[in-house]
Structure 1
């Protein structure tokens, strides 16, 4: 090889190394931005409430009078979230962390495992703020203590609320 060819090879090698580093940096930046977009596109809920109802559809004062739990929340406006039909899963956990379920086969996937859910609700999400109310008909013995409602959508826990039954 002549001296001129060696210089050309060195220049090309140098340019190749610079380009490779740039590609690697851009790939990392893209991955980071993808993660941020995914995070921004998640649904979020606020104003979670639980109201125990008696057989006259009034707020139950005593735990033995509860025939239904009304659970409501607000899906927050999110212009980056995908619109369309969403499946929301609600888990109602008793003080011992057992989940209230109608059928043991009612499960959904969360963090690579199947969890039981209490209520499944299909929602037509349009990116705007939306009120949602679901109902749990009490058919089991409820005892006094701290209960918890967890709300999931798109494989993500999007809200939780503790409530006490006396």
Structure 2
């Protein structure tokens, strides 16, 4: 009977022993570690990609910033060169409105460049400003060639005038030897050759560069950034055609002449005494009733009241006028 029961009952499974349980736990922990390591690896890779993209963006902004800075420097140099040319032409007694327009155009471009944000300075902007700068540089080169030619012509004219003046001096010496009265004659010639400033006109230039004109010569002090004096030199057949220096004194309401070395002021002599001038202009007198202008910027607020303009040349006052700042 016992034997039959043993044959009919199936074989029962033995319970899991402790060593097998430990083995399964190790496998489970190992699997979890593999999963965690994989997740960390993915996160690290994603962070690396993000960092690489951020660095690329930073490099693009840095390059744009550098290009923008370089372009600003190019335009600042162009502006300085055009202003130098304008001063050279003014020193020769020449006016050039087209150059003033070019300086204004460069200033406008420079302000636009300075207004760019680093990220908004596109490749199209870079090409546009490079092309404009190249055109300005070509104009600058052509104008330098013209100025060089004008300087050569002026040197020839100066030499001719110097030769003429030397001849006149020799003649004067001869006449002095022959006649003791020549001193009086020379003085009379000097007085007769005195230049005369005619049709004096005062304009006030405001901070926007606009010139304000008033027939009564009355302006608002707050609008006065610069003072421009314009006049014509009257005909004088006695005066030699030669280089002249015109001195301007701008006298404030308290009687003191404006004087600032940094803006070109200095001193000259009248009747053997030093006198301060506000601004000066070198010209070549050609007896054609040529127009001359002088510009002065105080770089500070002007005083209110009546101002006086005095003009001198060759030791004489050649003209004066007044204007009022209210």
**Quick check: TM above 0.5?**
yes
Partners of 1:139 and 1:98 in 2: how far apart?
17
Q: Does residue 95 of the first structure (1) align with residue 253 of the second (2)?
A: yes
Q: Does residue 40 of the first structure (1) align with residue 200 of the second (2)?
A: no
Provide structure 2 residue ranges, at least 5 long, that are not aligned to the other structure: 1-177, 214-218
Post-superposition offset of 1:34: 3.0
Corresponding residue number in structure 2 for 1:59: 212
Q: Does residue 159 of the first structure (1) align with residue 319 of the second (2)?
A: yes
For 1:59, what is the secondary structure of its paired residue? strand
Partners of 1:29 and 1:122 in 2: how far apart?
33
Q: Does the Cα contact within 8 Å between 2:247 and 2:277 map onto a contact in 1? A: yes
Moved more, 117-126 or 135-144: 135-144
Corresponding residue number in structure 2 for 1:20: none
Corresponding residue number in structure 2 for 1:108: 268
Moved more, 55-64 or 114-123: 55-64
Post-superposition offset of 1:58: 3.4
Corresponding residue number in structure 2 for 1:23: none
Q: Does the Cα contact within 8 Å between 2:203 and 2:211 map onto a contact in 1? A: no
| Higher normalized helix content (fraction of residues) | 2
Provide structure 1 residue ranges, at least 5 long, that are not aligned to the other structure: 1-25
Between 1 and 2, higher relative CO (CA 8 Å, sep ≥ 6) is seen in: 1
Corresponding residue number in structure 2 for 1:150: 310
Corresponding residue number in structure 1 for 2:230: 72
RMSD: 2.0
Q: TM-score when scaled to structure 2?
A: 0.40
For 1:99, what is the secondary structure of its paired residue? coil
